[in-house]
Structure 1
């Protein structure tokens, strides 16, 4: 844990210890930041750190988001090992969702209790108890009202386009038209915090918006 200007900044290992959630869960929450609003980090000594107070506030709100778990099937043997199609039936989702989870697991998605090797793929089995425990964990995000659909999310895109940092980047580009993106990003990082790598894609977005 680092203290900068009287505020505590935590790296991912600090957040694991602080929150009690696994590294996989926290990495998944960070990966899905465009959808869940995860706070942006600040680069300290070459390592991503998050303002602990801001992260705590976000995480509390994330866990309290309204969720609809009415479609979850709570019947059956908790220890029954289920193939993907039956996992989808328990969760009340399309089987393709389980396939997506295998490629891009959501926060806390349980490891399979058994893997069956097929000729062209693997079939992962999970128990009903694992699935029930996962959906009951607020960090999973499952059942969140207006949850992330498959494909591009227009709301996420709109939020990205309305990001106030895009306006800051556009203003900086206007001030420094001859500077390279990395140089402008360094200036923005110095002025407003966060890392140079965080500002570079924002600068790209600002340039695209200006060309539209």
Structure 2
């Protein structure tokens, strides 16, 4: 990781080590950023990096999204290899969903335990245990309605962001002759969080004021 002005910045490889998830999973989360709200990247020496504190806050909310797993069938032999139709029944989804997963697998979608070569396609088998472990993994996103997190956790995050923006706007108005860094330092001393966090909030507040 790189430390710049007291902030830690992580490349994707750094996030792999930091989170414990694979590069493929993190890439899929990034690729779906319009729907899941993944933080934007910053170019450092030609390599994408993410603010670790910001990424951690997002990832926590992402994993705490309310999910409905009531349609998942938890019965049967955990080790039985199931064809796509059986996988769909366990997950409580249409067979088309499993077909789509084969083309564009979601994060942490398990590898097949067995494949069968048919005339026109390859049939993949997965066990119930694999499917249950996958739906129980919050990174999979299964059971959510998509989009940004909803529910109390997300509302708390949104309220916190709105409150910080309001405080930043009030501080800028009260200290028009002070530099943004000085205003950020004052906010950090009064309300907590790092100076760099408040610098980002101030930048966002100024953009909103100009719109």
- Measure how far apart 1:118 and its partner are: 0.9
The corresponding residue for 2:47 is 47
The corresponding residue for 2:20 is 20
Q: Deviations over 1:25-72 (max 9, x none)?
A: 111111111110001101111111001000000000000000000000
C-alpha separation in 1, matches of 2:48 and 2:146: 27
Determine whether 1:124 maps to 2:124.
yes
C-alpha separation in 2, matches of 1:8 and 1:93: 41
- Measure how far apart 1:21 and its partner are: 1.1
The corresponding residue for 1:142 is 142
The corresponding residue for 1:11 is 11
Q: Is the 8 A contact 2:67 2:143 kept in 1?
A: yes
C-alpha separation in 2, matches of 1:24 and 1:71: 27
C-alpha separation in 1, matches of 2:119 and 2:33: 36
Q: Deviations over 1:149-178 (max 9, x none)?
A: xxxxxxxxxxxxxxxxxxxxxxxxxxxxxx
Classify the secondary structure of the residue corresponding to 2:105.
coil
Q: Structure 2: which 5+ runs fail to align?
A: 148-199, 201-211
C-alpha separation in 2, matches of 1:52 and 1:63: 16
The TM-score normalised by the length of structure 1 is 0.68
Determine whether 1:78 maps to 2:68.
no
Q: Which has the larger radius of gyration?
A: 2
- Measure how far apart 1:104 and its partner are: 0.6
C-alpha separation in 2, matches of 1:24 and 1:124: 20
The corresponding residue for 1:91 is 91
Aligned residues: 149
- Stretches (4+) displaced over 2 A: none
Q: Structure 1: which 5+ runs fail to align?
A: 149-192, 194-212
C-alpha separation in 2, matches of 1:100 and 1:69: 20
Classify the secondary structure of the residue corresponding to 2:106.
coil
C-alpha separation in 2, matches of 1:43 and 1:137: 30
- Measure how far apart 1:3 and its partner are: 1.1
Mapping 1:56-205, distance limit 5 Å: 56-144=56-144, 146-147=145-146
Q: Is the 8 A contact 2:39 2:55 kept in 1?
A: yes
The corresponding residue for 1:31 is 31
Tell me how large the CA RMSD over aligned residues is. 1.5
The TM-score normalised by the length of structure 2 is 0.68
